[in-house]
């Protein structure tokens, strides 16, 4: 009985938090907020179309740790590490774009727009610019007050479908949501390190992964070889070998023809639970768009801070200075 009550209370809290978010949250406090973010993203996209992948990754890595609270943006200090120090976040980029948007917003309306909302809005705008669905997102998130490297536990590229789904299920996302969100790899890149074993020595066999197209394995081997190197010098390849900068359904088509580069991507087309979803997206480009929009909206609402929780950072890279309290005797 106590367990059921606890679950009901948790559901109430989550629903209450989502209800605090709304489309047009800044319509009165900062009417040009979304336009300002969009202009910054448009300017960057005009010279760097890979920013879509960067923002999608940042958004996912932020929301899957402590929720969508911009904790990923906090810089580490000499005395305190942050989420940026975690291995999976070593190659996250796009922080300078968030800084630029925040600077413009602080000039227009100081201390009104959260860094968490900037990430969400910028990602939405980048997806639209890359040919993906255009959708509305609710705003009103607050920025978190904690950023610990120990909290970072993200699904890796070599997981099975059931293993990966445990991460998504813990965030109240469905199997369909998982397959859809991994479709963000349609504009993604990967270092050779994350699929090296698939092209040279899969599971100690001395041969490539049999679930990978031999021609693709041979091409990747020419790029990656067998050498182990630091990420800074590790070659990168596009996860979608056809429309690498376009948010579309071609990623799913490639997995059907054994051309998924990451093991988890290929497994989506092979696992009985996810294969029908992949085939649906691959055979018809129409369903992917609205499914992707809906999944991104759900992602952006994970464990958000609203109301008086958290803060609105002045600088997205550091917490606001703590106010000193006067002790009363």
Active-site residue numbers? 61
CB atoms near residue 102 (< 10 Å): 24
> Which residues are paired to 311 by β-bridges?
143
**Are the C-beta atoms of residues 233 and 192 closer than 8 Å to each other?**
no
* Residues making up the binding site for Ca(2+): 62, 65, 67, 69, 71, 83, 186, 240, 243, 248
State which H helix or E strand residue 238 sits in.
strand 236-238
Report which of 321, 313, 327 is spatially closest to residue 110, judged by C-alpha positions: 313
Name the percent of the chain in helix, strand, coil, to the closest 5.
Answer: 55, 5, 45
Residues belonging to the binding site for substrate are 155
- Which residue matches tokens 């480009």? 285
Rounded distance, CA 270 to CA 211, Å? 9
Work out the angle at residue 278's Cα, subtended by the Cα atoms of residues 223 and 193, and round it to the nearest 5 degrees: 25
Question: Which position has the token pair 């991104």?
Answer: 296
Q: Which residues contact 63 (CB under 8 A, 6 or more apart)?
A: 171, 299, 300, 302, 303
Residues annotated in a binding site for heme b: 185
Rg of the chain over CA atoms, in angstroms? 21
Other Cβ atoms closer than 10 A to 32? 14
Which residues does the annotation place in the binding site? 62, 65, 67, 69, 71, 83, 155, 185-186, 240, 243, 248
3-state secondary structure at position 224 = helix
Closest C-alpha to 237, from 132, 126, 157, 137: 157
């Amino acid at each position: 009985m106590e367990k059921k009550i606890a679950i009901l209370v948790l559901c109430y809290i989550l629903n209450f938090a989502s209800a605090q978010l709304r489309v047009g949250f800044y319509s009165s406090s900062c009417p040009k907020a979304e336009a300002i973010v969009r202009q910054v993203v448009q300017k960057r996209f005009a010279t760097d179309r890979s920013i879509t992948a960067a923002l999608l990754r940042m958004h996912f890595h932020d929301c899957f740790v402590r929720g969508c609270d911009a904790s990923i943006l906090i810089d580490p200090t000499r005395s305190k590490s942050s989420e940026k120090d975690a291995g999976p976040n070593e190659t996250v980029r796009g922080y300078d774009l968030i800084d630029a948007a925040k600077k413009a917003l602080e000039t227009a309306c100081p201390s009104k727009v959260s860094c968490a909302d900037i990430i969400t809005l910028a990602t939405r705008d980048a997806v639209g610019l890359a040919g993906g669905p255009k959708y509305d997102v609710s705003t009103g998130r607050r920025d978190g007050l904690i950023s610990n490297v120990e909290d970072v536990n993200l699904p890796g590229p070599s997981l099975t479908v059931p293993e990966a789904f445990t991460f998504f299920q813990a965030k109240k996302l469905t199997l369909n949501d998982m397959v859809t969100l991994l479709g963000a790899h349609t504009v993604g890149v990967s270092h050779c390190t994350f699929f090296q074993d698939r092209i040279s020595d899969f599971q100690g066999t001395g041969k490539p992964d049999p679930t990978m197209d031999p021609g693709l394995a041979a091409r990747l081997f020419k790029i990656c070889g067998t050498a182990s190197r630091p990420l800074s010098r590790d070659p990168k390849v596009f996860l979608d070998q056809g429309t690498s900068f376009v948010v579309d359904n071609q990623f799913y088509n490639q997995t059907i023809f054994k051309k998924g580069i990451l093991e988890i991507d290929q497994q989506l087309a092979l696992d009985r639970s996810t294969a029908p979803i992949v085939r649906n997206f691959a055979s018809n480009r129409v369903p992917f768009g609205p499914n992707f929009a809906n999944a991104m909206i759900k992602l952006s609402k994970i464990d958000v801070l609203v109301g008086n929780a958290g803060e609105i950072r002045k600088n997205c890279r550091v917490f606001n200075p703590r106010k000193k309290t006067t002790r009363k005797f």
